[in-house]
Amino acid sequence: MHLRIGSHQLLLLSTKQLFPFLPPPKCPRARHRHRQWPPSSSSRFSRAAHGPSGRTAAMSPPGAARVTDADLYAPAKELYLGDRCQVADTPAPWQFWMVMLKNGNLDTTAAACPENGRPARPFPQTSRFPCPAGAGCMNQPLLFHNRTALDDAGRRLRGGLFGTYDLDAAAGLGAGDVSFYSVTWEKDVAASGRGGGWAFHHKLCTSTKYPWLMLYLRSDATRGFSGGYHYDTRGMTKTVPESPDFKVRLTLDVKQGGGRNSQFYLMDMGSCWKNDGRACDGDTATDVTRYSEMIINPATPAWCSPSRIDQCPPWHTFRNGSRVHRRDGARFPYGAYHVYCSPGNAARAEQPTTYCDAYSNPQAQEILQLLPHPVWGEFGYPTARGQGWVGDPRAWDLDVGAMSQALYFYQDPGTPPARRRWTSLDVGTEIYVSDRAEEAEWTLSGFDILVPDKCIKSQQRASNSCW
């Protein structure tokens, strides 16, 4: 996961786009028309998002002081738009789905991103952190918006957004080596006015200047810190799901995979707790973002292996509660893991280990990336490579709560177990440092997070049963 803000662009939205409804154009090789392409449309949309005054650096929630500090602008905008979009509901109001678009470029000479939550120093550019165009490679994208509207027959709602990170390419998205993204959302409206759920169609293209791009549809908690953020955010999830007591249902149709480096996440879960088990409080020096992701691209290898146990979690826990250590070559399911990395501020991480990228979150992060494997079958996840991939659209019923309870996450020895409360759940892809222009395309629908009203203690099992 990667949070790179970098430089701000006049009259452009930030990389975290918010839409109260909550989702296609083509990548640069094809031609498409968009009703609201002219810059005047994007300017109108941007001014509305920047607050009543239309000033790019002075947006605040109603009743609050005006914000002029760029570092405070993003959280202020989150609260402002949350207030504008909030819908009254039971047991709590909700605000919006999140379309998350991220640029993995990092200008290491600028020292713009903290190192494990602490101030960083400049260092020479390396291949691990791309910045092909040099200074300015961390820019925010151009964004164009097609407002949600009914079709002429009054039966379908449709809207969307699209754009590029190549700021000089707005007039030529149909040409050559240009990054591109789009999300289109649509919904059939029945006579009752409700109809079915929303379907979100996504496209993402990398380019030479922007080889590491990410696009997700994400449901964040309506209050608190969402995954990868150190300030109060807004979202769709009215009740924060907690391990082991929730499930996720969705339908996914992957049209194009995005190349061999596309880490396509069937399910990406994000949370935050400190290494001593306490909940995060916004102190980036001690907070730790926790991620786990199921990658369904069959080209993604298992870096975890008997010869590279530093790429594996120390322990694997089976559904029945039994555990196996990564040094047990006969029993440990190495093929179930792409990679594991420890948080950079873990004082007692079991060695050998690989530490996570120190610059991609405002605080340290811990990442556990999974691959289709028989051990995940009991949780409803894919058991073999290729399941749910291109040409195999599926409806998934994932016991995310039970599986997330079983996964290994670091804690300091002797500390009480953290409450695993997952404030962010999303689906999408991270095209990781591609050496050529790549294209991904997929449709997501029926995305539901199920949290039972009541949990009943089972006499036959050690854990709570909610189903």
- Report how far residue 357's alpha carbon sits from residue 379's, in angstroms, rounded to the nearest whole number: 29
Pairing of strands 394-398, 199-205: unpaired
- Measured from the Cβ of residue 320, the count of other Cβ atoms closer than 10 Å reads 9
Domain residue limits at 180 = 16-465
Q: How far is CA 117 from CA 114, 124, 179, 357, 367, in A?
A: 5, 20, 30, 12, 16
Burial of 113 (0-12, 13-18, 19+ CB in 10 A): buried
Q: Give SS3 for 83.
A: helix
Asked if residue 458 is part of any domain, the answer here is: yes
Asked if residue 122 is part of any domain, the answer here is: yes
- Report how far residue 361's alpha carbon sits from residue 113's, in angstroms, rounded to the nearest whole number: 8
Asked if residue 190 is part of any domain, the answer here is: yes
Q: What's this model's pTM, rounded to 2 decimal places?
A: 0.86
What tokens were used for 222? 């309506």
Asked if residue 9 is part of any domain, the answer here is: no
Q: Where are the alpha helices (DSSP H) in 51-160?
A: 70-85
- Report how far residue 422's alpha carbon sits from residue 404's, in angstroms, rounded to the nearest whole number: 9
Given a contact cutoff of 8 angstroms between Cβ atoms, the answer to whether 316 and 332 are in contact is yes
Owner of token pair 């039994």: 322
Q: Give SS3 for 41.
A: helix
Asked if residue 460 is part of any domain, the answer here is: yes
Given a contact cutoff of 8 angstroms between Cβ atoms, the answer to whether 311 and 301 are in contact is no
Given a contact cutoff of 8 angstroms between Cβ atoms, the answer to whether 410 and 342 are in contact is yes
Asked if residue 89 is part of any domain, the answer here is: yes
pLDDT one digit per residue (tens) for the chain, 467 residues: 333 344 444 333 333 444 444 333 445 443 333 333 333 333 222 323 333 333 334 455 555 567 778 778 889 999 999 999 999 998 899 999 999 999 999 999 999 999 999 999 999 999 899 999 899 999 999 999 999 999 988 899 999 999 999 998 866 676 678 999 999 999 998 745 555 789 999 999 999 999 999 999 999 999 999 999 999 999 999 999 999 999 999 999 999 999 999 999 999 999 999 999 999 999 999 999 999 999 999 999 999 999 999 999 999 999 999 999 999 999 999 999 999 999 999 999 999 999 999 999 999 999 999 999 999 999 999 999 999 999 999 999 999 999 999 999 999 999 999 999 999 999 999 999 988 999 999 999 999 999 998 654 443 444 555 55
Chain center to CA of 226: 10
Asked if residue 3 is part of any domain, the answer here is: no
Asked if residue 1 is part of any domain, the answer here is: no
What is the DSSP code string of 103-133?
E----TTTT-S-BTTB--------TTS--TT
Domain count, the chain: 1
The single-letter DSSP state of residue 180 is: E
- Measured from the Cβ of residue 185, the count of other Cβ atoms closer than 10 Å reads 25
